[in-house]
Chain A
Amino acid sequence: MSAAVTPANGQRRWTRLLARWETLLVVAVVGLVALGASLSPFFLTPGNFSNLVAALMEVAIMALPMTLIIVAAEIDLSVESMAGLASAILGFLWAAGVPLWIGIPVVLVVGALGGLMNGLLVARGGLPSLVVTLGTLALFRGLALIVLGPRGVSDFPPAFTELGFGHVPGTLIPWPFVVFVLLALVLGILLHRTWVGRQIYAIGKNPGTARFSGVRVTRVRVGLFVLSGLIAALAGIILTSRLSSARADAGSGMTLTVVTVVLLGGVNIFGGSGTIPGVALAVLAVAVMQNALRLASVTVEVQSIALGLLLILSVVIPTFAHQAKSALDRVRGGRPPPADSIAHGEAALS
């Protein structure tokens, strides 16, 4: 939903709240939890929450910068390959005897550099991000394979494995979840409460206007891709830790889930609208759904179908809801609501 101002007259606040995508997501999460509890007696056990989130945390962490990127009307398909490259380099360095406290920062720098490459090609080179990041999707994965080959490196120290697989002492909260929450807070504040965030929305809505308004479009764009690469590298490190194994093919297939989660979170694929809380809720919804269905022995295939349907519905429902609303408004004789309050998906289609 748009962060811009919506009209005050003719619409009561609570109806506006109800119509927000985030509210729908909260309802969905509650519904899915109820579904999960009904499908399996093990769903509401304490240990289950930990399992529920654990497998999805790398995707969740990468979904946060992806949100900013898609709001800015770009996309970064290369995140899964950067995670793999991070894993490969970390493993390579560790196997070569380089201690982790050097290896991890090196990997993070590589992530930022990869993001820089994406950012420069898109922002300075003017190339479409879809294709650039498709190219780097292949390139980074290729580099990972060149660095580590088909082998895996797995003799990491237990302290490192604890990061990905262990919990905050005394609780059942997995460490990666803590990372996710912290990152969500930081990026949420960045997007929703700072000047930089408003610039990102402006670029997404209309880069030409944004530039004329003094927004440093190129700089912001490059920064977003650098952030995405950096976080993807972090996700790769966490993945390596959780699996206690560094592999060149780590993370493969994750980009799809990341983009799905972001879109499910209410972010408009054409840019200009979307929120971090929405995406965080979508992460929760998907995690609950996958866990509940797995516990109920619903096959992975059906889950895949469910996810795809959810994604399409997430665009269809607001579109029809809006059309119903404008039809109702027309009947009532009021003026149609301005473009800003339109749910995502309507915007630029013919």
Chain B
Amino acid sequence: MAKSGVTARGGAGRTRGPWLSTVARQRELSLVAIMVVLGALVSIGAPQFLTPSNLSQVASLASIIAIAAVGQALVVITRNIDLSVEAMMGLVAYCVAIVLERHVLDAPAAIAFGLGLGLVLGMINGVIVTLLRVPAIVATLGTLSIFRGVDYLVAGSHQVPLAGLPPGFTDAARDSILGIPIFVLVALVVVVIGSVVLRSTRFGRQVYAVGSNPEAAAILGIPSRLIVFTAFSLCGLLSGVAGVLWVMQFGTINGTSATGVVLSVVAAVVVGGVAIFGGSGSLAGAALGALFLGFIANALILVGLSQFWLQAIYGVVILVAISADALILRRIQRATAARRAR
């Protein structure tokens, strides 16, 4: 948001091909490395950490955030932000739960309904940002209040209990295929499809272009507003997916479900190396960021550190992540400048 950031990044609108992938890979690799080291350290004190059941539970829970983070990453890459993610998740979760409880739809139809609702909510965000020209942070701040208000309005004081859902609906949270939890598979599918689209299609390149230099993108004839609209819509769709998974994970759903999630989602994106200025970052990074944060939360519990340390550690992790980003960027810029000077 700070305009100084634009000049700090510098450069024309051409895609930073080699830089993008190098920085991204560095971030992803470092996250994986840290997780491995962390895992080893924690398991010394708490052997339950590395058990398959614990790992799959952590991964499952993190998958929900990861999917939402992938959607958020898409939006952030276009140099926008979506603060309404948690409200979209909560509203979709409640609507899916209530539709199931009242037997209006059966499970597959309810899931489709949830995804469709998420898509529509994302499109509303997209319209407000692209057509009404409201800056993303303002627009999604507004829709955060609106969607959450609608969620409370629709839910009232009602709560859908686990018993209200069709039997077996929540099993997906604990089942696995070939040893991999279903939630993790869903997240993997999302990440893989998203990454392929971003890296190998024209649409993907346009997304990065719009994010790194909107003026140049406009000159090049890229339909920026359509791209941004699509990003927000996809973010809504993925929030809808996360909302459906939320119902499966927690069972009991009311109007307050999924409150407070937006911090974790944005943190995951930042830790995952997606620059807040747009134009760079990977979906896999965002997903890994979510996994990373989930690991830390779990490690804390097992090591016996009070849960109250979690917030502080999240904060430190975010600050370290962006400082690392800035340092890497500066080194790259110095290298580029040096090379140009020769």
Contact = CB atoms under 8 A, between A and B. Distances in A.
Direct contact of A and B (CB under 8 A): yes
A179 interface: no
A149 B308 contact: yes
Given A73-B3, A315-B135, A136 B319 contact: yes
A294 B311 CA distance: 33
B128 interface: yes
Contact of A132 (B128, B313, B319): B319
Interface string A266-289: 000111000000000000000000
B276 A269 contact: no
B319 A269 contact: no
The 6 tightest CB contacts between A and B, nearest first, are A142-B312, A139-B315, A308-B145, A142-B311, A304-B149, A138-B315
A134 B267 contact: yes
A128 B2 contact: yes
Interface in B289-322: 306, 308-319, 322
A123 to B, nearest CB: 9
Interface in B120-164: 128, 132-135, 137-139, 141-153
A126 B215 CA distance: 23
Interface stretch (A40-48, A89-97, A342-350): A342-350
Interface stretch (A16-24, A54-62, A295-303): A295-303
A52 interface: no
A207 B4 contact: yes
- Name the residue in B263, B311, B312 with the highest tally of chain A Cβ atoms < 10 Å from its Cβ: B311
B138 A315 contact: yes
Contact of A73 (B1, B141, B319): B1
B326 interface: yes
A143 B312 contact: yes
B151 to A, nearest CB: 8
Given A302-B149, A305-B145, A350-B214, A130 B276 contact: yes
Nearest to B135: A269
Contact of A301 (B8, B137, B150, B313): B150
Nearest to B313: A142
A350 B224 contact: yes
Given A73-B1, A130-B1, A304 B326 contact: no
Contact of B323 (A125, A299, A304): A125
B200 interface: no
Q: Give the interface residue-count category, chain B.
A: 35 or more
Contact of A128 (B7, B138, B277, B308): B277
Contact of B133 (A136, A208, A259, A345): A345
15 contacts: A125-B326, A128-B5, A128-B276, A129-B2, A131-B322, A136-B315, A138-B314, A139-B316, A146-B308, A146-B312, A256-B144, A263-B138, A301-B151, A305-B145, A319-B134
Nearest to A303: B149
Given A132-B322, A319-B132, A311 B314 contact: no
Given A128-B2, A269-B137, A301-B150, A307 B145 contact: yes
Interface string A104-134: 0000000000000000011001111111101
B266 interface: yes
Nearest to B147: A308
Interface in B77-134: 81, 128, 132-134
Interface residues of A, number: 59
Contacts of A235: none
B285 to A, nearest CB: 15
B69 to A, nearest CB: 14
A99 to B, nearest CB: 27
B315 A140 contact: yes
A316 interface: yes
B153 A305 contact: yes
B25 interface: no
A74 B1 contact: yes
A252 to B, nearest CB: 9
Interface string B160-171: 000000000000
Given A137-B263, A207-B4, A305-B150, A145 B135 contact: no
Interface in B1-26: 1-5, 7-8
B205 interface: no
Nearest to B329: A126
A130 B137 CA distance: 10
Contact of B145 (A269, A271, A304, A350): A304
